[in-house]
Every structure is written in C-alpha cells, then in structure tokens.
C-alpha cells in the first residue's frame, strides 16, 4: 500500500477476497444464513455472500489508508438538521445507535471530527492479545488526532454500563452498536416482518435507565475513501424512561429498513437472523 498505486491495490483486493471467502467457511455460512433470512430466494446466493466479503475488504483498505497514511476521507451527510441538534452541548446526553456497516473506525473518526463535543464509542476486545495490542495502538493514534473521540472496551467482568450511564447523565453522547451479539454480551430477540433478530440488550438497558434521546446513525461506503453518514430522527425523543422492550420495538424497524437497503455492507460474521417458520 505504501508503494503501489491505489487502483492496483484495489484490483488485487478481488482475488485476495476470493481466497478468504473460500476458506472462511463458518463466516461464509453465517452470512448466507443472515442474508437468506433477510431476503428469501436472493440472499443465499454465493454472489451475495462474496459481495459482503468484498465490501468488508474495501472498507478495511480505506481504514488503513486513513489511519496509517493520513489519507483524507470524503463524506456526505444525510440528516444535517439532526446532526446540528446533536452537536449542541445544550442538547444534553444522547445515545447513538448504529450497526456494523461501512467502517466503524472511520465513521467514529469522521463523526468526532465534525461533532465538536465529546463522543464515546464502545468496542469488543479483539480475539487475541497480539491483535488487541495492535488495535489499541491504532485507536490511541486515532484518539490523538480526534480529541473528542473516546473509545471504551466492553471487557468481561467490567462495569462499562455504569460508566456509560454516568457519561449520558452528565450530558455526553455515547455511540453503541445495536445489531451484533458476541462474547459475553447479553442477547434479546426482536421480531419484524417474519424475521427474528438477536440483538444486544445492553444498549436497550442504557436507554431505559437514562431516558436520553436515541438517534439512528448509519455509515455506508460510496467509493474509495468516500462515505455517507445517515442521521435519522430520534426513534425515542427522550424526556422519560421507556422500557427496554419499547426501545427495541422502536429501533428494530429503523435497523431492518437500513439492512434491507444496504445488506451488502452489513459486516457481521455470526448467525444473528432467522426467518420465522410459517
């Protein structure tokens, strides 16, 4: 990447991705199952699964160019009115719900660079100690570039939920991923249009305990180092403390609609979606 032109690196990504797609059987089958449940008759094709792998590889390239080579990222914003409301300190605390699409690291950096107030993001620890060390070095570098960005790891036995509650009650913004269950994350089932999702319960409880507004924010890749951020109207306006089930019922249609439109950029490699038996 340091010496080859960007177009050649991009071209080489296709055969490399094909090798990973062939070898990563559990991940390939998980994606096939998720897409089949979302789009019966279409999502179970090999081409659909390969597109997810390819888009993941291309966003990872963008991440490396952005973090290690200081390449500029072009981005467009949909929902500027909501963005302006969110970035006002007097708006108080807010929960930002997102999914594993586009590139989470790029998206957090872009959002924080334009946000102008502290934003806290949550990550799961990496699968190995060496990868965790490498990733922490990268993210600390990113934090040094974006002073408003604060990254927290959801480690087993920790008390991250309590800390995030304090941040929200203090009027700060917390960004959580509302689509993926893995490790020690507590799941809950949610149903829509004959589809059952397994989604994390933690973000729903945060909304229940704090009663802050909940905004949907989604990131999609439009091209090399070109991204689009969609900021929707709050699916919970705040001002009261709803039950977790109420937040789930409000969040699910928003997430489901986005995934139907951008299924090829939903980067989860675990079985999370099933189609209900009729």
Element (H, E) at 54: helix 46-68
CA R_g for the chain = 18
Closest CA to 149 of 126, 100, 116: 116
Tens-of-pLDDT digits for all 278 residues of the chain? 989 999 999 999 999 999 999 999 999 999 999 999 999 888 788 899 999 999 999 999 998 898 888 888 888 889 989 988 888 878 888 999 999 998 777 777 777 777 778 888 887 766 667 776 777 676 666 666 677 788 877 776 667 888 999 999 999 999 998 888 765 667 889 999 999 999 999 899 999 999 999 999 999 999 999 999 999 999 999 888 889 999 999 999 999 999 999 999 999 999 999 988 75
Which pLDDT score is estimated for 69? 87
Question: How far separated are the first and last CA of the chain, in Å rounded?
Answer: 50
| Location of structure tokens 């699409």 | 101
Which pLDDT score is estimated for 120? 87
Which pLDDT score is estimated for 43? 79
Which pLDDT score is estimated for 3? 92
Q: What is the pLDDT of residues 251-262, one digit of tens each?
A: 999 999 999 999
Which pLDDT score is estimated for 78? 92
Closest CA to 23 of 53, 66, 3: 53
Q: Are 38 and 259 contacting, i.e. CB atoms less than 8 angstroms apart?
A: yes
The model's pTM is: 0.89
Which pLDDT score is estimated for 90? 82
162: tokens are 């309590």
Which pLDDT score is estimated for 142? 65
Q: What is the pLDDT of residues 108-160, one digit of tens each?
A: 777 777 777 888 888 776 666 777 677 767 666 666 667 778 887 777 666 78
């Amino acid at each position: 990447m340091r010496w080859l032109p960007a177009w050649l690196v991009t071209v080489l990504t296709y055969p490399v991705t094909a090798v990973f797609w062939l070898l990563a059987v559990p991940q390939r089958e998980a994606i096939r199952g998720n897409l089949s449940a979302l789009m019966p008759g279409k999502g179970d094709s090999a081409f659909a699964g390969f597109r997810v792998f390819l888009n993941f590889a291309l966003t990872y390239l963008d991440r490396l160019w952005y973090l290690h080579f200081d390449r500029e990222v072009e981005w467009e914003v949909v929902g500027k009115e909501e963005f302006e409301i969110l970035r006002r300190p007097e708006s108080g605390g807010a929960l930002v719900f997102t999914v594993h699409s586009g590139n989470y690291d790029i998206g957090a950096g872009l959002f924080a660079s334009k946000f102008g107030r502290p934003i806290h993001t949550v990550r799961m620890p990496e699968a190995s100690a060496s990868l965790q060390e490498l990733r922490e070095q990268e993210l600390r570098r990113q934090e040094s570039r974006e002073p408003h960005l604060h990254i927290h790891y959801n480690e087993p036995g920790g008390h991250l939920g309590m800390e995030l509650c304090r941040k929200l009650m203090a009027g700060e913004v917390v960004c959580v991923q509302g689509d993926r269950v893995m490790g020690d994350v507590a799941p809950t089932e949610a149903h829509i249009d004959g589809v059952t999702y397994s989604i994390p319960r933690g973000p729903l409880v945060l909304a229940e305990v704090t009663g802050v507004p909940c905004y949907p924010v989604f990131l999609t890749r439009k091209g090399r180092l070109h991204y689009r951020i969609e900021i929707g109207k709050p699916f919970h306006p705040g001002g009261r403390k709803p039950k977790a089930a109420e937040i789930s019922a409000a969040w699910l249609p928003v997430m489901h609609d986005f995934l139907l439109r951008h299924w090829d950029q939903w980067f989860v490699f675990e079985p999370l979606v099933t189609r209900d038996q009729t």
